[in-house]
Structure 1
Amino acid sequence: MQEEVVKILDKIKPGLQADGGDVELVEVTEDGVVKVKLLGACQGCPMSTLTVKNGIERTLKEHVPGVKEVQQV
């Protein structure tokens, strides 16, 4: 599952990078929790929770079977 998550994150990254941010994969747990770290302009942004839940989590759940949640660390 981790390889699939990395492929999808690589597709998400250009949109974040266009706004001066980025995302880094920290961990994929066996129970389907993906832990990510937001970088650059995304780090500390008031919209970061929306980015994680409505952007990254939604996209990963659509494309990677087994992803249950995305957590920002």
Structure 2
Amino acid sequence: MKILNALLITAVLITPSLAMAEGGGDRTFVRMQAASERSTQSFQLASQQQQKTTITTTDQKHSHSNC
């Protein structure tokens, strides 16, 4: 009976801590971090595409083929 009581007390003390470890705040933080990474990547990609477009239009304007 003492072993059963010890197991029951241990289960009662461990269960709430496990439930709190995976709370909604953790999931929200992970989602926020993933969204931040995606937005950073898309910003970098858009910036690179804009730089390529700027370089291409600048080269076309200054080609001096009609001089």
- Normalized per residue, the structure richer in strand is 1
- TM norm structure 1: 0.24
Q: Which of the pair has the greater relative contact order for Cα pairs under 8 Å at 6+ separation?
A: 1
Whichever structure has more helix as a proportion of its residues is 2
Q: Which has the larger radius of gyration?
A: 2
